[in-house]
Amino acid sequence: MALAGTAAAFSLIATGCSSGDGDGGGDGASAEPIASDAFDEAMTTPTKLTFWTWVPDIENEIALFEEEYPAIDVTVENVGQGLEHYQKLRSALESGEGAPDVAQIEYMYIPTFNLTGSLLDLSEYGARDLGGDYVDWVWNQVANDAGVWAIPQDTGPMGNLYRDDILQEAGLDGAPETYDEYAEAAKQVKEKTGSYISNLAANEPVQLIALLWQAGLDPFGYDGAETVSINVNSPEVKEVVQYWQDLVQADLVSTDAGWTDNWFQNIANGHYAGWLVPAWGPIFLQGTAEGTAGKWRAAPLPQWDAANPVSGNWGGSSNAVLSTTENPIAAYELARWINHEPEPTTMFATEQFLYPALKSLLEDPEYADQPVEFFGGQEVNAEFADISATVDPTFEWLPFNEFVLSAYNETVGVAWEKKGDAVAALDDWQQEIVDYATEQGFTIE
Amino acid sequence: MAVTTVSSADPPATRRSPGRAARRGHRGHPLAGFLFVVPFMVLFIAMILVPLGYAAYLSLFESKLIGGTSFVGLKNFAEALTDPAFLGGVGRMALFLVIQVPIMLGVALFLALAIDSGRTRAARSARLLAFMPYAVPGVVATLMWGYLYGPDFGPITQAFEAVGLQPPDLLGESSILGSMMNIVTWEYVGYNMIIMYAALRAIPTELYEAAAIDGASRIRIALSIKIPAIKPAIMLTVIFSVIGTFQLFNEPALLDAIAPVVITNGFTPNFYAYNVAFVNQDVNYAAAIAFLLGLVIAVMSYVVQLGSQRAERKVRR
């Protein structure tokens, strides 16, 4: 905690200097293209905002915001996480009342809510100017030519967290660098220790999608209007899935359903020797597998081409302003302030352990070079900062993401569960999505 | 339909005629009767008829993400009738009905007869014990059983492993329906038992005396007096069970978390309607499915009733 405190103080100064006359100052109005008197009026008129989010202890960042703008009163409501949150959000939007001003939205759901016109275009309020401050691929997730739809909060660049002790027992020195080596290592780990090198959860579409993302594939495309492209069964996708299927069928990678008691136990007791997981994985593990502290290490994902290391993203989310808000300026300022100002963003990174989307924070040595005992003193944040720089910036999502994920579980997920033909199941997944898109009136490219 | 057994048919019939005559005599208070019904009617209209009408209205439209809402008549219904996910769910529940309901009601009847026989020591605590699972909310029960079924660390698996046997995969594709039947049986045996037991207590004891004088054994009494006498109660539990089975929702929704791939979106018709509405965002189609499901339940309940009435007529002849 003391360490976190100094980190916060330091980066406050660091960013304060580098941003010069930017919006780091007190009134925060100078960078806004909206008339500054309109901004001042909005931020000094007593206003009530509602903010739906599942981020724990976000009240702390909100308190900082309310200190900055005493006239604004923010109510934080947690209506559930993931699907539950989106269902309630959609119900509120459809019924026309009860929707919040600002909402937590994962990157993969931005096109889904954009399609229904539910997100306010923040470029009118100056959000375009923020683009350069965030990691490029993250900014591409929230902004397109038509507008800026949310302010990034945290990210999930994919890496490989592994049990160093188990890999050493199997005679391996460090994490495999390429997928060929990974397959070899999987064999060795299974033979010598009985553990699986990792688990590809049958019910976790986003993990597999992140691996496709890493491979530079574009399974989904959306032009922002009525045209989508769907390529989840392209030869390239099949190649990646075939690789995993071979490992699964050789019983070298397990496919246990994730987030179940069983799976938590398996992580804690070394049944899985590793986990291909994003930057939010390290802190998650520290809570789940306390007994194995010091034995874990972080590495980049195995690579298809070792000369050009790349990664994908799994998770992370943003704060979007809903188009139904009656206080767009104040709502935008809330989303911007907590995710752009040094003090709250440092707090998110060091107290809630959200993996930052801001370049300044990722480059901040106080944050990045902090050794983590759970990972044997490794500077895990720096490792993931390097990985984040390699995430392919062009990945897109379909504007009906719930269906895409659910259809995966019904097709490819079933194949993983049965250790069957997941490659063939990709065709079914493709068909389901194409049928749905056609039925919903989209044009398929 | 309920009052058709030999033992109870006569008294109400004789009571009925003077009652009617009396009512005809007091024509002055039609308002009172109306007022008594008002609270019920208000709730009935607001909570049942209006939502039902709204769902019927919704089911006639189609709304697309691109292109908006349009009237399509019965298209959603036609689609549902050929939808393998919906039909599969209904079929799965029919199988569930055929296997689970007889087992559950058989056990409930046996327990009710055993407690009623007076031979069971501590009948009171036995009754309470059998009824207790019903007091556990369905959500909690499913979570609890989900833990018991756990494939690696569940107590059942561990017990099998402790004695060196291959543990069964209770959450696998072929066994999950059976595991679900077990949860539902465990939960509702006590409830059905109480209904049957209450009916048993209402049988006039003279019948037992007469049977005893005729030298009937306890088993004979159970088969020839008790079971026929509580037939309406048994039929009631059958109909409740038919309705309950087709409406299964908690069990698949919660087991979905521990066996996510095995529980498909259309595992039960109700779960399917939920997924269509909230995952596929197709409220209109979900309304049509819900309506069809209601129709299936109505038909099944009617068939069960009709069957029992026919059987009774045969007995009377």
B52 pLDDT above the threshold of 50: yes
The contact set of B with A (CB < 8 A) is: 64-67, 147, 150-153, 173, 257-262, 264-265, 275, 278-281
Closest CA to A269 of A166, A161, A373, A188: A166
Cβ atoms within 10 A of the Cβ of A187, count? 14
The predicted pLDDT at position A28 comes to 40
Tens of pLDDT, residues B7-43: 444 444 444 444 444 455 556 678 888 899 999 999 9
> Nearest chain B Cα to A114, which residue?
B65
Q: Which CATH code for domain A2-152+317-353?
A: 3.40.190.10
Chain B partners within 8 Å of A420 (Cβ) = none
Closest CA to B266 of B255, B258, B257, B274: B274
Domain membership flag for residue B233: yes
The predicted pLDDT at position B13 comes to 43
Range of the domain at B307: 70-316
- Round to whole Å and give the CA distance between A355 and A159: 13
Tell me which residue in B150, B260, B265 faces A261 most closely, judged by beta carbons.
Answer: B150
The predicted pLDDT at position A170 comes to 95
Contact criterion met (CB below 8 Å) for A173 and A185: no
What count of Cα atoms within 13 Å lies in the side-chain half-sphere of residue A310? 18
The predicted pLDDT at position A11 comes to 35
Contact A410 B173 (CB under 8 A): no
**Alpha-carbon A88 to chain mean position:** 21
The predicted pLDDT at position A250 comes to 96
Contact criterion met (CB below 8 Å) for A340 and A347: no
B273 pLDDT above the threshold of 90: yes
* Shortest Cα distance, chain A CAs vs residue B153, angstroms: 7
Chain B partners within 8 Å of A403 (Cβ) = 279-281
Tell me which residue in B147, B261, B278 faces A413 most closely, judged by beta carbons.
Answer: B261
A19 pLDDT above the threshold of 50: no
**DSSP class of B315:** H
By mean pLDDT, which of A62-66, A320-324, B162-166 is the weakest? B162-166
A102 pLDDT above the threshold of 90: yes
Burial class (CB in 10 A: 0-12, 13-18, 19+), B12: exposed
* Shortest Cα distance, chain A CAs vs residue B148, angstroms: 11
Which residues lie below 8 Å from residue A43, measured CB to CB, with a gap of 6+?
A28, A69, A71, A72, A329, A330, A333
Chain B contact probe: residue of A406, A412, A431 with most B CBs at under 10 A? A406
Which residues lie below 8 Å from residue B33, measured CB to CB, with a gap of 6+?
none
Sheet of strand A443-444, all strands in order from the earlier edge strand to the far edge: A220-222, A227-230, A443-444
Q: How many residues does chain B have?
A: 317
Chain A contact probe: residue of B82, B149, B152 with most A CBs at under 10 A? B152
A354 pLDDT above the threshold of 50: yes
Contact A260 B64 (CB under 8 A): no
Contact B280 A402 (CB under 8 A): yes
The predicted pLDDT at position B27 comes to 60
Give chain A's largest Cα–Cα span: 70
Contact criterion met (CB below 8 Å) for B109 and B284: no
Residues 327-356, chain A, touching B (beta carbon < 8 A): none
Cβ atoms within 10 A of the Cβ of A32, count? 21
ipTM value of the model?
Answer: 0.79
Domain membership flag for residue B276: yes
> Nearest chain A Cα to B154, which residue?
A262
- Round to whole Å and give the CA distance between A124 and B155: 59
Contact criterion met (CB below 8 Å) for A422 and A415: yes
The predicted pLDDT at position B143 comes to 87
B119 pLDDT above the threshold of 90: no
- Round to whole Å and give the CA distance between A187 and A167: 11
Domain membership flag for residue B34: no
Contact A441 B64 (CB under 8 A): yes
Burial class (CB in 10 A: 0-12, 13-18, 19+), A229: middle
- Round to whole Å and give the CA distance between A205 and A216: 17
The tokens 């009774």 sit on which residue? B312
Q: How many residues does chain A have?
A: 445
Domain membership flag for residue B18: no
The predicted pLDDT at position A95 comes to 86
B305 pLDDT above the threshold of 90: no
Strands A143-144 and A147-148: antiparallel
Give the A:B interface size as CB pairs under 8 Å: 68
Segment of A261-265, A299-303, B30-34, B45-49 carrying the highest mean pLDDT: A299-303
Contact A203 B280 (CB under 8 A): no
What count of Cα atoms within 13 Å lies in the side-chain half-sphere of residue A378? 20
> Helical H runs in A275-389?
281-288, 328-340, 342-351, 359-363, 365-368, 380-388
> Nearest chain A Cα to B62, which residue?
A440
Tell me the two tokens of residue B248. Answer: 């299964």
Contact B264 A410 (CB under 8 A): yes
By mean pLDDT, which of A146-155, A226-235, B113-122, B214-223 is the weakest? B113-122
Strand pairing partners for A444?
A228
Across A261-324, the runs of DSSP E, i.e. the strands, are: 274-278, 296-300, 317-321
Mean pLDDT (chain A) is 90
Helix (H, G, I), strand (E, B) or coil at A72: strand
Instruction: Supply the CATH number for residue B126's domain.
Output: 1.10.3720.10
A414 in B contact zone (CB under 8 Å): yes
* Shortest Cα distance, chain B CAs vs residue A289, angstroms: 16
The predicted pLDDT at position B51 comes to 92
Tell me which residue in B260, B264, B275 faces A257 most closely, judged by beta carbons.
Answer: B260
Q: What are the backbone angles phi and psi of residue B159, rounded to the nearest 5°?
A: -65, -45
Domain membership flag for residue B206: yes
Query: What is the helix (H) or strand (E) element at residue A444, kind and residue range?
Result: strand A443-444
- Classify the phi-psi angles of A259: left when phi > 0, otherwise alpha if psi is within -120 to 50, otherwise beta: left
Contact criterion met (CB below 8 Å) for B100 and B251: no
Contact criterion met (CB below 8 Å) for A400 and A228: no
pLDDT (average), residues B47-60:
93
Which residues lie below 8 Å from residue A282, measured CB to CB, with a gap of 6+?
A161, A296, A298, A372, A374, A375, A380, A384
Chain A partners within 8 Å of B72 (Cβ) = none
Q: Report how many domains make up chain B.
A: 1
Across chain B, the runs of DSSP E, i.e. the strands, are: 61-64, 68-71
A76 in B contact zone (CB under 8 Å): no
Tell me which residue in B153, B257, B261 faces A409 most closely, judged by beta carbons.
Answer: B261
By mean pLDDT, which of A23-32, A194-203, B95-104, B132-141 is the weakest? A23-32
Closest CA to A229 of A217, A212, A240: A217
Domain membership flag for residue B291: yes
pLDDT band at B120 (very low <50, low <70, confident <90, very high): low
Q: Which CATH code for domain A158-313+389-444?
A: 3.40.190.10
Mean pLDDT (chain B) is 86
Domain membership flag for residue B59: no
Q: What are the backbone angles phi and psi of residue B69, rounded to the nearest 5°?
A: -100, 140
- Round to whole Å and give the CA distance between A428 and B261: 15
Contact criterion met (CB below 8 Å) for A418 and A431: no
Contact B261 A414 (CB under 8 A): yes
The predicted pLDDT at position A93 comes to 92
Contact criterion met (CB below 8 Å) for A90 and A65: no
The boundaries of every CATH 3.40.190.10 domain in chain A are 2-152+317-353, 158-313+389-444
The predicted pLDDT at position A6 comes to 35
B134 pLDDT above the threshold of 50: yes
Domain membership flag for residue B32: no
> Helical H runs in A143-234?
164-169, 179-193, 205-214
Tell me which residue in A266, A410, A436 faces B265 most closely, judged by beta carbons.
Answer: A410
The predicted pLDDT at position A393 comes to 92
CA A409 vs CA A215, A257, A359: distances in Å: 21, 11, 35
Chain A partners within 8 Å of B147 (Cβ) = 261
This prediction's pTM:
0.84
Contact B261 A417 (CB under 8 A): yes
> Nearest chain A Cα to B64, which residue?
A440
Choice between A288 and A193, residue whose per-residue pLDDT is larger: A193
Contact B281 A400 (CB under 8 A): yes
A198 pLDDT above the threshold of 80: yes
Contact criterion met (CB below 8 Å) for A397 and A112: yes
By mean pLDDT, which of A142-146, B90-94, B107-111, B218-222 is the weakest? B218-222
Tell me the two tokens of residue A295. Answer: 């034995």
The predicted pLDDT at position B316 comes to 64
Contact criterion met (CB below 8 Å) for A258 and A199: yes
